């Protein structure tokens, strides 16, 4: 039976690239997204492999059990979780004017949701170990958090991102004894859809100016990085941040 991946926001942008790559790698992929099922896209993806579309928002932890159970009912297991979904404030506002609802929305999708979905999926992975009779020291799963490079910058949309990065470290330490690796992939914000204004707000350098290498292959590189990390071939690595940003974060030459 093929391994199973759950990708939040796997229906568009960076998430869709990750979905396509994991399908090509032989995974069955469940997509969790807020929009109604895009029938033509899902039919196209099913030409490559098994796809399950789950409509819902990652922001509300009380719904996570239903999402995870839907995947388990379909395929009996989850081997990989990719926390990719994320949002910027809408509308953007001065920090002295931003509303509680806007802050709650951003934190819910960018921090609280991924944190508790990770918790829910990790427990399911640990239960799978018992069902599979796997050795207690064998790898059983991988969790990848996708967080833009601007997580380290000051911007209205970035307040929750450093918390998500810390969650990567916290879960990596907690889940290592269980055989679950946790990583963060950090692409430049300019690699994501509709991110130019967010990068501008953050004062983040653009890949168009002064990046050490070309960014032409950045989006495929993000999916390739996720593919490599979930392959199980890095058994001595967890809690690490992998930058996919054309070298923007590197010191100036």
Q: What is the C-alpha separation between 108 and 100, in angstroms, rounded? A: 12
Closest CA to 185 of 232, 135, 225, 234: 225
Number of compact structural domains in the chain: 1
What's the token pair of residue 236?
Answer: 């001595």
DSSP 49: S
Give me the CATH number covering residue 218.
3.40.50.720
DSSP 210: S
- Asked if residue 159 belongs to a domain, the reply is yes
Tokens 């196209």 locate to: 44
Neighbours of 159 (CB within 10 A): 18
Domain span at 78: 4-244
- Asked if residue 56 belongs to a domain, the reply is yes
- Asked if residue 82 belongs to a domain, the reply is yes
Q: What is the C-alpha separation between 248 and 215, in angstroms, rounded? A: 10
State pTM to two decimals. Answer: 0.86
- Asked if residue 253 belongs to a domain, the reply is no
- Confirm if 183 and 238 have CB atoms less than 8 A apart: yes
Q: What is the C-alpha separation between 177 and 186, in angstroms, rounded? A: 25
- Asked if residue 251 belongs to a domain, the reply is no
List Cα–Cα distances, 51 to 38, 84, 143, 144, in angstroms.
12, 17, 19, 19
Per-residue pLDDT of the chain (253 residues; tens, 9 = 90+): 799 999 999 999 999 999 999 999 999 999 999 999 999 999 999 999 999 999 999 999 999 999 999 999 999 999 999 999 998 877 777 778 888 888 899 899 999 999 999 999 999 999 998 887 766 667 899 999 998 765 555 555 556 777 888 999 999 999 999 999 999 999 976 555 433 344 444 444 444 555 555 555 467 899 999 999 999 888 899 999 999 887 776 666 5
- Asked if residue 75 belongs to a domain, the reply is yes
- Asked if residue 59 belongs to a domain, the reply is yes
- Asked if residue 249 belongs to a domain, the reply is no
């Amino acid at each position: 039976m093929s391994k199973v991946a759950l990708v939040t926001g796997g229906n568009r942008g960076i998430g869709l690239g990750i979905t396509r790559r994991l399908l090509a790698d032989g995974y069955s992929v469940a997509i969790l997204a807020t929009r109604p099922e895009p029938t033509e896209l899902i039919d196209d993806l099913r030409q490559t492999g098994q796809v399950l579309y789950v409509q819902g928002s990652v922001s509300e932890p009380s719904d996570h059990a239903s999402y995870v159970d839907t995947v388990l009912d379909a395929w009996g297991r989850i081997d990989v979780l990719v926390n990719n979904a994320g949002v910027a404030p809408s509308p953007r506002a001065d920090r002295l004017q931003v509303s509680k609802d806007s802050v709650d929305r951003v934190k819910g999708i960018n921090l609280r949701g991924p944190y508790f979905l990770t918790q829910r999926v990790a427990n399911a992975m640990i239960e799978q170990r018992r069902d599979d009779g796997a050795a207690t020291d064998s790898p059983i799963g991988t969790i990848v958090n996708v967080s833009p490079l601007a997580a380290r910058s000051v911007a209205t949309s970035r307040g929750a991102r450093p918390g998500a990065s810390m969650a990567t470290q916290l879960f990596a330490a907690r889940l290592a004894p269980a055989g679950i690796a946790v990583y963060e992939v950090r692409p430049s914000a300019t690699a994501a859809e509709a991110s130019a204004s967010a990068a501008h707000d953050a004062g983040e350098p653009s890949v168009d100016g002064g990046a050490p290498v070309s960014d032409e292959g950045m989006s495929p590189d993000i999916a390739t990085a996720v593919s490599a990390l979930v392959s199980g071939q890095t058994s001595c690595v967890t809690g690490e941040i992998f930058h996919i940003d054309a070298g923007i974060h590197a010191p100036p030459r």
